[in-house]
Structure 1
Amino acid sequence: MKGAIRWVSPVLLAGSFLLSTNAALAANSPTRDVVQEESNRTLVVNFYDSFFNKHQVQEAATVVAQDYIQHNPEVPDGKAPFVGYFSGYFKENPQSRARIVRSATDGDLVYLHVHSTNGKADRGQAVIDIFRVQDGKIVEHWDVIQAVPEQAANSNTMF
């Protein structure tokens, strides 16, 4: 049948397109440096424990860049303002603790899933902290914070 048009499933066409697109993206993606990512994760986890659990603010902040960029709207940019903010916070909230539940990396980013509390009676907050590390320094931070409710619509925990 010369010149006949054959019917091809739209699902098959879409799947072929996605496979070829993903293959092209994978071929152009940089190789992950797992050793560097683990070094970044260790740096952030150690910083986090010293800073948010032991409240050793000055000592822990040695790994924070001077021009630290902060995306939490309640905390100022820069290392000195960041340290000053939390020095005051921990003075007023000495029972404040942040338990890292899990961590992950992707390139220069380190992700922490945290249960943050302010005393034993506090249900706390579920926190996702994202840190960007460059040349052995924490240079940028984002977070998403959600209160742990008294009752949930399901039986799953937030951690």
Structure 2
Amino acid sequence: MLSALVLVQPAQAQTPSQPRNLAAEETNRKLVVDFYNRVFNQHDVAAIPSVVSDGYKQHNPLVPDGRAPFVNYLTKRFQENPQARSEIIRSATDGDLVWLHVHSTANPQDRGRAIVDIFRVKDGKIVEHWDIIQFVPEKSANQNTMF
């Protein structure tokens, strides 16, 4: 019969979190909101280099890492969907992260997608991005909207 000895390390004592710098968080939120409206609503991909770092890290599996691939991806997307719009419903911050809750549509007839975009900002540039995307259904089991 085999037996195993498992050593468990005691949990590390948690240090108190750093106090939030709400002014810096608001600066980051404004940077991301302005960027998002300019790029995703005005389709101004030329604005991307001034806000997105060259080493931009992307967690959306459809888009490669880096600023140039991001520009290429959005350029093609906006050419294929010239009426695409993304309405920011709400935003939030925590440290260097900015969250956007967005209603994205390809055209006025599209029910769209509910998106949560999360951006990490460092030194005044967007350096990382995650998103969670869900299609807006025609019918819902409840009376609540997705927004």
Aligned length: 135
Can you list the C-alpha shifts for 1:97-143, whole angstroms capped at 9, x where unaligned? Answer: 00000000000000000000011110000000000000000000000
What is the TM-score when the length of structure 2 is the normalising length? 0.89
1:42 partner SS: helix
1:142 partner SS: strand
Q: Is the 8 A contact 1:50 1:60 kept in 2?
A: no
Q: Is the 8 A contact 1:57 1:83 kept in 2?
A: yes
Q: Is the 8 A contact 2:48 2:71 kept in 1?
A: no
> Which residue of 1 is the match for residue 128 of structure 2?
140
> Which residue of 2 is the match for residue 75 of structure 1?
63
> Which residue of 2 is the match for residue 107 of structure 1?
95
How much has 1:31 moved relative to structure 2? 0.5
**Is 1:128 aligned with 2:116?**
yes
RMSD: 1.1
Find runs of 4+ consecutive structure 1 residues off by over 4 angstroms.
none
Query: Which protein has the larger Cα radius of gyration, Structure 1 or Structure 2?
Result: 1
What is the TM-score when the length of structure 1 is the normalising length? 0.83
How much has 1:60 moved relative to structure 2? 3.7
**Is 1:86 aligned with 2:74?**
yes
> Which structure is higher in helix share?
1
**Is 1:32 aligned with 2:20?**
yes
Q: Is the 8 A contact 2:87 2:102 kept in 1?
A: yes
> Which residue of 2 is the match for residue 57 of structure 1?
45
The gaps in structure 2 that reach 5 residues or longer are 1-12
CA distance in 1, matches of 2:114, 2:71: 22
How much has 1:75 moved relative to structure 2? 0.8
Identity fraction in percent: 61
The gaps in structure 1 that reach 5 residues or longer are 1-23
1:28 partner SS: coil
Q: Is the 8 A contact 1:47 1:61 kept in 2?
A: no
